[in-house]
A = this chain, B = another copy of it.
Amino acid sequence: MSVTAAAGFRAAAATAGLKASGTPDVALVVNDGPRHDAAAVFTSNRCKANPVLWTERTITDGRLRAVVLNSGGANCYNGPEGFQTTHSSAELVGELLDGGAFDVGVCSTGMIGPLLDREKLESGIRSAHDALSTGDDAGTAAATAIMTTDTRPKQAASAGDGWTVGGMAKGAGMLAPGLATMLVVITTDAVVDAPVLDAALREATRTTFDRLDTDGCMSTNDTVILMASGASGVEANHDALAASVTAVCADLTAQLWTDAEGAHHDIEIVVTGAASDDDAVTAGRAVARSNLFKAAVFGKDPNWGRVLAAVGTTDAVFDPHDITVTMNGVMVCRAGGTEAGDPVDDVDMSGRHLRVGVDLGAGEASATILTSDLTHEYVHENSAYST
């Protein structure tokens, strides 16, 4: 159930002192092979952090020996010295593994702007390297070291036919609570070429992480890396691998969703009856980004008017008078209000989960977007973060 679930991988954590809290802040995941195929996807934010700029280059040959991750600083928008820190940490990991910097991916999370203390970071990397080990404890240590405002480590695994996929994550999606950073490392011991890994990873992230939208803010550091060791000796075809990688991504997505900063409700927006997948995603995302709707959910107020107002801002195909809205199974808006809806008082919002169904009445496509309510705790955590 961790990033070390697949054979051929070791992991470790260390405390470098980058975080004021003094908790572990450096993680290392090493692929011992025999193969080193890899793929990655990154934030589409045009203001990219130094580790993203670095890893985008190193992944071009479809090969990685290791990934080094740190919390306690995003290493973003801090000039050439910041990029040099990323480069030198990759060089150090490469040296320790008798390889080169170009086979090392780097991920960082934390505040934008400040420089990372390079000496502390390098000392942490050496400690983590000394502690590398297989087994779930090592994976859990790594998953814990990359936590920032996360309240728990996030890990998952999926068994294929003779091979395994494991993974770890931190943060809360494209738009992240507090630190605005999602970092994910996924491993497999299947024998699989880099292009197949890349296709499987893109297919998996499109319908999992990309449909999590907790606060509408896209990170400068989001990175998802998939590495394959081939240690099982068993080949995986694209479909089987994509299914397992998708299962791990979906599991991690759910863990990110339900640990979103300050959230009282996990809101699942299920858009059906859309003319296309894109329309369904667009409509669902508009609802997920409505502060008015999210504040209403915090107040346990089934305010469906705010759902319709959000859908109305999109270019999705629909007739305003064909839309149906349900909340936890109660049809609060029927045919865009032209027929009487069921009583809003029937909606039970006392639990943590709220399922909002939006039927656009325009086709057969559907999509689910995951979001959170807008709470006092969200405002508090994000107003107090860097101070």
A295: B residues at CB distance < 8 A: 378-379, 382-383
Q: Closest residue to A50 on the B side, CB-wise?
A: B337
Given A337-B78, A376-B379: A291 and B217 within 8 A (CB)?
yes
Given A215-B291, A292-B180: A309 and B79 within 8 A (CB)?
no
Interface residue ranges of A334-387 to B (CB < 8 Å):
336-341, 374-376, 378-380, 382-387
* A220 adjacent to chain B (CB < 8 Å): yes
| Contact with A338, one of B80, B333, B375, B380 (Cβ below 8 angstroms) | B80
This chain: copies in complex: 2
Given A313-B45, A379-B375, A382-B291: A308 and B387 within 8 A (CB)?
no
| Contact with A113, one of B78, B178, B318, B333 (Cβ below 8 angstroms) | B333
Check B306–A112 contact: CB distance below 8 A.
yes
A44: B residues at CB distance < 8 A: 313
- Per-position binary interface string of chain A over residues 304-317, scored 1 when its CB falls under 8 Å from any chain B CB and 0 otherwise: 11101111111000
Check B382–A309 contact: CB distance below 8 A.
no
A111: B residues at CB distance < 8 A: 303, 305
| Contact with A301, one of B323, B333, B376, B385 (Cβ below 8 angstroms) | B385
Query: Within the complex, what minimum Cβ distance (angstroms) separates A338 from chain B?
Result: 4
* A330 adjacent to chain B (CB < 8 Å): no
* A296 adjacent to chain B (CB < 8 Å): yes
| Contact with A310, one of B217, B308, B313, B320 (Cβ below 8 angstroms) | B217
A45: B residues at CB distance < 8 A: 309, 312-313
Chain A interface, >50% SS class: loop
* A173 adjacent to chain B (CB < 8 Å): no
Interface residue ranges of A211-247 to B (CB < 8 Å):
215-220
Give Cα A304 to B112, complex, Å.
8
Give Cα A342 to B384, complex, Å.
21
Check A374–B379 contact: CB distance below 8 A.
yes
A47: B residues at CB distance < 8 A: 308-309, 311-312, 320, 323, 336
Shortest beta-carbon contacts, A-B, top 10: A112-B305, A299-B383, A47-B312, A77-B337, A295-B382, A45-B312, A79-B338, A46-B312, A298-B383, A295-B383
Q: Which residues of A contact B (CB under 8 A)?
A: 44-48, 74, 76-80, 82, 111-113, 178, 180, 215-220, 289-292, 295-296, 298-301, 303-306, 308-314, 318, 320, 323, 333, 336-341, 374-376, 378-380, 382-387
17 contacts between A and B (CB under 8 A): A47-B320, A77-B305, A79-B339, A80-B338, A180-B309, A217-B306, A218-B312, A219-B309, A220-B308, A291-B382, A292-B382, A295-B378, A295-B382, A296-B385, A298-B379, A298-B383, A301-B383
